[in-house]
Structure 1
């Protein structure tokens, strides 16, 4: 059992190494087997298709990210969503900058010809990562909902699996709050993506400072006013 677990971990690490050097198109079971000194038949006993391997890699990345974001959220008082949103946002950027290939795998160009299975571990892990931010917005909603009066969002606007998870976890949260959490994530993700792909450096000497300013503005949009803390 330990040998199988170690080999599985090596296969996944080798796949990420190939992706780092040649992009997502380089993920190939045969190429990985060749690099590891395995036969093609042997590697198929671990992952029967390339898409199965890709799904597991994506799930691993999302779960690692979710764990990082959950730890950041829990490092701040549960009744202080403003502090939680700053901690979450900072953790999101730090993770992305430290793990650019993993970031590209889940948020970059799709893996060529990859056909994700319906539901499955990858979708569950992605929903888990999204649910962390939704929980923070849920805590802030009593003070932020007046900013979103008249929202026409309904549960049908969201993926059924994601909507089901959110409604089970936060039964009193309206669709407008879920839409707000996705908009908040979009603002975080925009600057992070520009930085990871190298598009900020030609214009900005300190991307972290720019991102911090955006996080402060985000907290205000949730109905809070923060005193900026010096780094």
Structure 2
């Protein structure tokens, strides 16, 4: 059938509309490590480590050390100046599944994986600390942030830190408190306070805090790179000094 000019114009318009509809959204392009590029570039990365935060998720600054296409190191390589690796821990895959079933994300897995090799609260009570510095649960959440950011402990004092031990045996509460705390502080401040308590909140861009955040993001990237890592026995680690 002969196509009239009007019909042809209509068809062209239809194809153009479809092209727009199926084109990637602005800023949706992903880096080689699978994370989206930061729409706002380095403005979303105040600490300059190549990792930013937009729309409640991590993003990569184009051309930074976290972007392998821009000459930086690949996420499969250890972060610059750090020592890292992986090994198998019997039963860890089951533990990963338990954390995920409790609502845990790959970021949560990375935090727990960095803290202990079994992703459990089987460490010295309070992490050998007391008061606001005492740590509880598989993420080693400090009491200061728990009582400020988790409704379960709202209004409690520094001296009531033993109440935080409830997280040691309740994975659901542990994950819930983590998410509440991250929401309360905002992810960047949460990283700072989680790593170094009130000092971290006051001075969030120290080398130590940035190294800790880089380590967690590296582990998360390894987990996200292969879905098998969400449920296998592989533990990724980065050597970060205990404090």
When Rg is computed on C-alpha atoms for both structures, the one with the higher figure is: 2
Greater fraction of residues in helix: 1
TM-score normalised over the length of structure 1: 0.27
Greater fraction of residues in strand: 2
TM-score normalised over the length of structure 2: 0.26
